[in-house]
Amino acid sequence: MHIDPEARATTGEVAESNFAQAPRSGKRNGAAPNPVSASVDRSTSRPDQGGVYNDADQFSGTADVTKADTPTLRAFALLEHLVNTEGPVSLADIAQEVTLPKASLHRMLASLEAGGLVIREPGQKNAYVIGPRLAQLAVGVMMHSGSRRLRHAILARLVADLGETCNLTMLHETDVLYLDRVEAPWPLRLDLKPGSHVPAYCSASGKLLLAMQPREQRAALVRALKLERFTPNTITDTELLEAELDRTSHKRIAIDNEEFVAGIVCVAAPIVDASGTCIAAVAVHAPVSRAPLSRALEFVPRLKEAARELVETF
């Protein structure tokens, strides 16, 4: 990604997407653009020259801003940079990495902040993270992407094989977000439609997704949890939860032993991408009267098989 160091913004300009435009591009004294990182592919040409936007993966966050010749795309490139950073990043650090003058960068960030696309991290002066509007957009993209039908078909086959309800989830802040769910044809069921959230610390998928986070990130998430008791089996002690997450990380399988809903057990398997990152989880749940935990654990090989199929849809 690249941002022209001599870019200029006109105060009060508003982009079509209801937030202020990014700085207008331009150069003085014939200075060449400065890339954000050496990983950017400079061999690509502009779309209006008959070339392509970027030879790199268009979703990898490596797009060069010199190819983004509209204010909206320049602002989007800055959002990509924020998404790809781990944790809050200061204005000074952003300015250094994108080689944009602080004044121009501050105007762009202020516009994005006004639109809810970025926020300042509480307690850290001028440290920015992605905002709730951008996070909600990402959730919407995942839930309504073109791969949804394929994922649903994989879950449907899994339910047909196991005879119990299965779901696909991701971590959303400190909750589990249901991306998709296929119900088994039984009268007893939980009303958890796609888009529903449940606490991560007392669900199998949630504990698995927490456990497989990098250590520092996991610790920060655990500190942010409010460990409310839902059943007698809910873990409400931070040290006990950390121990449970350690076991889960080692086994790479998580269980919910009636921790969220009394009488319901659940087993989850990770969906891991090519880089080894756990991006989602696939799980099965059932009433203990029909499938006690020992029986649900027998579903693990089939869950792992489904996880290998599902990772290809991300």
Under DSSP, the state recorded for 7 is -
Count CB atoms within 10 A of the CB of residue 196. Answer: 15
Pick the residue with more confidence: 172 or 251? 251
Domain boundaries for CATH 1.10.10.10 within the chain: 1-140
Pick the residue with more confidence: 153 or 15? 153
CA 152 to chain centre: 19
Could you please state the CATH topology (level 3) that the domain comprising 144-313 is classified under.
Answer: Beta-Lactamase (3.30.450)
Quick one: pLDDT at residue 254? 97
Whether 39 shows a pLDDT value over 60: the answer reads no
Q: For tokens 């998430």, what's the residue? A: 221
Measured distance between the N- and C-terminal CA atoms of the chain, rounded to whole angstroms: 23
Tokens of 265: 């057990």
d(CA 165, CA 148): 17
CB-facing half-sphere around the CA of 230: CA atoms within 13 A:
19
Return the CATH architecture of domain 1-140: Orthogonal Bundle (1.10)
CA 25 to chain centre: 31
pLDDT in tens, 132-154: 777 767 766 666 666 788 899 99
CB-facing half-sphere around the CA of 216: CA atoms within 13 A:
2
Contact 259, 234 (CB under 8 A): yes
Rg (CA), the chain: 23
* Neighbouring-strand partners of residue 199: 175
Strand (E) positions, 31-99? 89-90
Whether 41 shows a pLDDT value over 60: the answer reads no
pLDDT in tens, 88-111: 788 777 777 776 677 777 788 888
Domain boundaries for CATH 3.30.450.40 within the chain: 144-313
CA-wise closest residue to 111 among 201, 13, 249, 223:
13
Q: For tokens 């809050």, what's the residue? A: 88
Q: 171: buried, middle or exposed (CB in 10 Å: 19+, 13-18, 0-12)?
A: buried
pLDDT in tens, 268-302: 999 999 989 999 999 999 999 999 999 999 999 99
Whether 27 shows a pLDDT value over 60: the answer reads no
d(CA 156, CA 305): 14
Quick one: pLDDT at residue 250? 95
Strand (E) positions, the chain? 89-90, 118-120, 127-130, 165-172, 175-182, 197-199, 254-257, 264-272, 278-287
pLDDT in tens, 199-229: 999 999 999 999 999 888 899 899 989 999 9
Quick one: pLDDT at residue 133? 73
